[in-house]
Amino acid sequence: MERKIDLKDIKIKDRFWSERQKLIKDVVIPYQEKILNDEIPDVEKSHALTNFRIAAKMEEGEFYGMVFQDSDAAKWLEGVAYALCVEADSALEARADKVIESIAKAQQPDGYLDTYFIIKEPEHKWQNLQECHELYCAGHMMEAGAAYYEATGKRTLLDVVERLADHIGSLFGPGKRSGIPGHQEIEIGLMRLYHTTGKEKYRELAQYFIDERGKDPDFFKKEAEQRGWKHFDMDPLDTKYNQSFLPVREQETAEGHSVRAVYMYTAMADIAAVTKEKALTEACERLWDNITRKRMYVTGGIGSTVDGEAFTIDYDLPNDSVYAETCAAIGLVFFARRMLNLSVDRKYGDVMERALYNGIISGMQMDGKRFFYVNPLEVNQGVSGKLYGYRHVVVPRPEWYACACCPPNVVRLLMSLGGYGWGEDADTVYSHLYLGGEASLGHGTVTVKSMFPYEGDVTYQIAPREGKETFAFAIRIPAYAKNVRITLNGREMNVDGGMKNGYFYLSRTWETGDKVRLAFDLPVRRIYANTAVRANAGCVCLMRGPFVYCFESIDNGSELSALRIPADAAIRTEVCEEGLLKGMPLLKLDGVRMHGSGELYFEERPNAEAVTLTAVPYFAWGNRSNGDMRVWMLEK
């Protein structure tokens, strides 16, 4: 069983993630706080924090926002908790305490907490689980309560969410009212409470909601008929949309709303790691394989269509009408990390890394003040954001959203990154990600000097807790790593001899000062898609290390569809020396631009003009201009 890691014991200090965590703490969290308080003009109104003050009778006013507006405040608070683990900030903590005070005052005597129904429709509590997301909001608040307690030791919000969980447990469960959330999240929140408090009743309630889903595929239909009113006019017969078409242990493919799906799979994997249940574990493994082998974008994005923000069918991965919601990629990372608890296997760590370095950080502008909901792999001026079927592909990144689930989700993931980079059990320390800095773990302290992701060079210096200790140190070796070299105190190790499921294990009695160095080459790789992926027929994608690369019109001119990459073109890596992308490795190659006659159709083969092409890391696109962009390029 994996040991719980205290985020305060993980300090990230490297050339990539430190900069982003500092940006989030210094810029993004205060910016989002102002938005949640409606203090920034000409930005989509939130009102989320004001709703709590109104529900607490601290202010006069009306509820404003989505029915699940509370979740934005909860995710922001969770992100604040992790920021306080990264670096103490008494002023930020004091402001968070004031928000928590309003939440505690808003909670009803029976433990109920949801500002929409407290302020606007108290007569409709718990009547519309499909559409109104009371359980979803509760789950996010539970995560925030546990995180804030672990960061500060303060129990106010933890006590609130325990009372909320107990209220929910008094209503739903075996021998009580039947119910499942329309949008999964309560299961993750309850498991978080279980891990924080050790109280089995929270795990049992989480498992109840997982076990109940799909037992009666007509549940939401019956609920709609019984209540006789609607909120969003969602179809209660679309059982694939909310994954209630079959019991979870019988599901074979990832279906429906992609965020709801991966949130549910995350909880399933978390429960399976605790209970050791074979059927639940096997279901997680099947669903993981279906996503990552047939329904995932090269960037780690998931969700192919705007219609339901959903998975579609195997190999349906359009680039220009893609959805690939930022929250969905974040949910995939949640799922991957829980799968690593079930089985330490490179396939989980590699996908976690892919999503982090591509489909998630692309969701935030480099200044921290604009955010993508949708993460396209192709953008065309005059089409994206304008034509029917492409209007959801909005460029540039908006400053905020009416449904603002993604911006605070990015904050809470990246500020808790240390928990994704490290793992530990009774016998082994695991390095899942190459995070520079220091990790103080049960077996000892590991100090890391990391040149990753721009170079494959990572050094670990180990200081056992008692000066000497026997345990295994396991390092994920990504599938793309070439010419892998590992040394222990300067002595070359037999890499192949220590590999298991993509991790290199070094078992010994460690002494203070022992050093392990991992080095590997990061050549540019040409990536090709399965021939069943129609959108990528004849195309190639370029990657280096964890980064997917893309081409923008600011570097390559307009009409990117006219460009071709020769199959034999040499690709050079050049570090950008100025501007917004300074310090990033860019790719340069000799390509061609095709020129036709100017007619709509013609018989002559287009002429090929030699041009120099430039590709940039996908996460950085759309920061210098709002022009065209492509990940997959036609190969000549």
DSSP lists the bridge partners of residue 447 as 438, 461
Q: What share of the chain is helix, strand, coil (3-state, %, to 5)?
A: 40, 20, 40
Q: Kindly state the helix (H) or strand (E) to which residue 201 belongs, with its residue range.
A: helix 200-212
Does 403 qualify as catalytic in the annotation? Answer: no
Residue 123 CB contacts under 8 Å (≥ 6 apart), including other chains:
none
* 483 close to 458: Cβ distance less than 8 angstroms: no
Give me the phi and psi of 580, to 5 degrees please: -65, -30
Does 277 qualify as catalytic in the annotation? Answer: no
Give me the phi and psi of 590, to 5 degrees please: -85, 115
Q: Which residue has the tokens 């609607």?
A: 230
CA distance 38 to 307: 30
SS3 144: helix
Count Cβ atoms below 10 Å from residue 531 Cβ, excluding itself: 9
CA distance 558 to 396: 17
> Is the alpha carbon torsion for 495, 501, 507, 510 positive or negative?
positive
Which amino acid type is present at position 369?
A: K
Q: Which of 132, 284, 405, 541 is catalytic?
A: 405
CA distance 331 to 179: 23
- Do strands 468-476 and 428-431 pair parallel, antiparallel, or not at all (unpaired)? parallel
**Terminal CA-to-CA distance of the chain, rounded, Å?**
51
Q: Which of 33, 223, 309, 552 is catalytic?
A: 309
Give the active site residues: 309, 405
